[in-house]
Structure 1
């Protein structure tokens, strides 16, 4: 009897060592994969295995109904390799992978606010920090700063202060052409606020039961970004890009499994509800732990380029054109650069977004199309500007890199021709910088390199200055 107690104590010590800090993570049932917070107290088995009481009871019930003799089972358990769960080949290490471990919720969660509103930067501070990384888009940055500030004030506010007033979420819909900085704005915002961020694509989402990612997988990615800490994930930001790809199809004879049905499936997600998501996986079918996440305090930002939306806006604006002295010209808005700024909910409904979905995204704003001056500023002004990156690379070889103003203008013009926004800048620079980056390390006497317009246009060589 004493030997048995000693062995059980050793097993518990092994379990504690293999789990790392066992106080930080929940125990997970080996059979049903539910965490301890949902399944109740676990029964500790040898080889680092935990089983919930429900699964253990079902096991005993199935043994009783099958008529297996307990004495025969005990004889089998004493045979080498035939102990309980011996045939499963369980290793001595923890059977739950590291990425599927679930952190425990803090017990004092209800007493303390999730965020300290006094440490939350004011809207003008958020915009000022965004200005350091993002050029232009002043209106979009102002809208995002105010919306995010109000959202986290709502999350951190004490229920006693709010009383009977319930403040709703300020989810956002961001519309802008490709390369205008939608994803970059959200990334910078999450870095400023130091909250978990999950960036996902709407193109892979399908209705439940079809090939593709479930709608709840977007929350599963946020949980992974929060290091499987549910409390932290419930105050994070989810950015769903390419949201225009789930628009309702105009004419289709088959079931629209990646269009309107996905919008309908996301309604409760955006509004706020408790959903079960797999830990460390994007599919519920996998044998992984399930955890409940409440989305009422998660800020959703949706973004998309919405191609062909400009034609819908122009058609609506030109409806007032008619014959007479006060009539508008039909081509009045053809040369309008930022036609997206005139967008309304009716235009988005015409595009294929359902009214219920748009109703849960109360803040709708657009980003400006980048012009030549903005592209030049993007090249040199932000903290991590592209030119500064190349200058740092050559600085490691003790070589100074300079660009003339004409060269910057030429790069911006080439990017405008490609019509892919700021994404075109790096590919253009990589093209003419390849030979320079290859040749410079050959000669240690080179002191500085100046890139001119001729280099960008591939009509000449860079100006090289040797060391004194």
Structure 2
């Protein structure tokens, strides 16, 4: 137990209400903690006795109890609120909305089964879905009650073309276990102390605001880490844009090193259980890899799989940053087959989405096989990744959605190859 808490308890020995509140907090935590449960109940009983010798002896006995250390901030918060005459009214998010606590739920499954599910969501990225399946399993192991050692999370560096599912896979994976995830674009970041948005501001997104009130109706707010925040995910997109911003690269190092960030207002953030995923296009990285390998062949899907720390340093990362990633996760350009599957087969495919739109308006919307292939080919010729499919589908259906009656017969609308080509040409 920290010295500060011991001092606070000592100064509050004459405050019977404070002792009762601390005892209540301990009893509540004893019902949710496996380790040290009996010891916390014993301490609560000693505090309730209002006998200075009883509760001081209890504190001394529990000096080395790890389970109690994790409750120190909550007990100190309870004590401070009582001493100031404030009562906790509510919890808010940083933007003033009511906070609803979330629960992180470990997955009881194998990486292989998780990958099978992820492959139905993100198409054509078998290497990436395998890496994320293993990452989710690691998080579940860290949260497991059977884990008795500190399992450190791996930092992920995700790279590949735009529109191939990098961000979508990361958010799909974290949602599977209810992991709090904060996304930020590296292009929006400024150096710490510069007055702009920096990494401290990003980590504050894992916080909530405690709102206290006293009998006079006065309110006081203070920051607190929200439930599950120490098992969260920080997703930094467009990390490749930092190639010429070495100061920002240095600012990221303490997070990747599992350090402690001071966030202000007396709040610090321990990143030791934070799953950090950085993502970027890294245009030209394939050529850097080929040059290192002295491979004159045209880059293929296996080129990015051979990326090393050295290649990212050559790209523009400082060596200290490049060596702090344990998992290099390449994403491949989408093939024609993968694009067709995204358009037609996935649970949230674009075809299903547009069929739902038309169904709401009372129409059965169909696209014949040749027309679907024409949309895929147009997408490959005019855009990068799955975004081209979205552009093509919007262009093809915009006029039909505006006046479906012109195209439908008996409530059925069928797009043909000639219709698609006529609209997209």
| Structure 1 position 371, deviation (Å) | 1.5
414-423 or 235-244, larger mean C-alpha shift: 414-423
Distance 1:192 1:104 in 2: 18
| Structure 1 position 366, deviation (Å) | 0.2
Whether 2:161 is the aligned partner of 1:173: answer: no
| Structure 1 position 454, deviation (Å) | 1.4
| Structure 1 position 338, deviation (Å) | 5.2
| Structure 1 position 296, deviation (Å) | 0.6
| Structure 1 position 441, deviation (Å) | 5.2
Unaligned regions of 5+ residues in structure 1, if any?
1-22, 24-33, 51-92, 106-113, 250-258, 278-283, 321-329, 461-468
| Structure 1 position 355, deviation (Å) | 2.3
Matched position secondary structure for 2:422: coil
| Equivalence for 1:298 | 274
**Superposed, which structure 2 residues align to 1:398-437 within 5 Å?**
398-437=362-401
Q: Which has the higher helix share?
A: 2
Which runs of structure 1 show a deviation greater than 3 angstroms over 4 or more consecutive aligned residues? 34-40, 42-45, 96-105, 114-117, 155-159, 222-225, 441-446
Match of 1:41 among 80, 102, 106: 80
| Structure 1 position 132, deviation (Å) | 2.5
Whether 2:271 is the aligned partner of 1:275: answer: no
**Superposed, which structure 2 residues align to 1:271-420 within 5 Å?**
271-277=257-263, 291-318=267-294, 330=296, 332-333=297-298, 336-337=300-301, 339-420=303-384
| Equivalence for 1:223 | 207
| Structure 1 position 167, deviation (Å) | 3.1
Structure with max Cα Rg: 1
Count of aligned residue pairs for this structure pair: 339
| Structure 1 position 182, deviation (Å) | 0.2
Going from structure 1 to structure 2, the CA distance change for 1:428 and 1:234 (only over 3 Å counts) comes to: same
**Superposed, which structure 2 residues align to 1:204-223 within 5 Å?**
204-223=188-207
Using structure 2 for the length normalisation, give the TM-score: 0.70
Offset from partner CA, 1:426-465 (integer Å, 9 cap, x none): 11111121111011157986421111121221169xxxxx
Unaligned regions of 5+ residues in structure 2, if any?
1-27, 29-72, 210-222
| Equivalence for 1:80 | none
| Structure 1 position 129, deviation (Å) | 2.1
Offset from partner CA, 1:100-157 (integer Å, 9 cap, x none): 599899xxxxxxxx9665x533212321221221112011101110122123312435
Using structure 1 for the length normalisation, give the TM-score: 0.64
Aligned-CA RMSD value: 3.6
| Equivalence for 1:245 | 241
Going from structure 1 to structure 2, the CA distance change for 1:350 and 1:98 (only over 3 Å counts) comes to: closer
* Residue pair 1:115, 1:156 contacting (<8 A) in 2 also: no
Distance 2:390 2:97 in 1: 40
